């Protein structure tokens, strides 16, 4: 006997909605930390966001969720719109972090500090200069 259909506010869709709202809340915390200039709070928010995104990705792999996401239901369409909003907020927050880092680098150079070369690029590759560094002389 098959299980009766559940409304979208129950089961996998309810968990998916909660996961998306958790991501949205983490993004809000991240933005607040940036505005307040609180690096410790920012690190906590980034960590919380990463956990929320992992949870969301796990839910998205559920075949029942994948089937729901292909429907034209109004709740699903609102969820997709909320996901797009989260994506835009994440991009804006990331841009703000990059701009702040660049501002810091400019200020440090202005006072004579040469920043150390990055160990990795934003895409995770090691720059050639980092690999060719002399660590010491014998």
Q: Which residues neighbour 26 within 8 Å (Cβ) at sequence distance 6 or greater?
A: 45, 48, 49, 52
d(CA 80, CA 20): 10
Backbone angles phi, psi at 56, to 5 degrees: -65, -45
Positive or negative CA dihedral for 63, 69, 74, 77?
positive
Q: 47-94 pLDDT, tens per residue?
A: 999 999 999 999 888 888 888 888 888 888 888 899 999 999 999 998
Q: 91-114 pLDDT, tens per residue?
A: 999 888 888 888 888 888 888 887
Tokens of 122: 């934003």
User: Is the model's pTM score more than 0.85?
Assistant: no
The number of beta carbons lying within 10 Å of the beta carbon of residue 47 is 11
């Amino acid at each position: 006997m098959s299980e009766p259909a559940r409304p979208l506010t129950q089961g996998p869709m309810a968990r998916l909605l909660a996961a998306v709202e958790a991501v949205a809340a983490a993004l809000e915390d991240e933005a607040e930390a940036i505005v307040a200039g609180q690096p410790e709070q920012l690190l906590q928010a980034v960590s919380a966001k990463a956990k929320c995104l992992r949870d969301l990705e796990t839910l998205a792999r559920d075949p029942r969720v994948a089937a729901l996401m292909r429907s034209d239901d109004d709740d699903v369409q609102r969820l997709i719109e909320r996901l797009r909003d989260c994506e835009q907020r994440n991009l804006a927050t990331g841009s703000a972090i990059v701009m702040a880092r660049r501002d810091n680098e400019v200020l440090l150079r202005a006072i004579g500090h040469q920043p150390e070369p990055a160990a990795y690029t934003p895409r995770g590759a090691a720059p050639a200069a980092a690999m060719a560094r002399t660590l010491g002389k014998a």
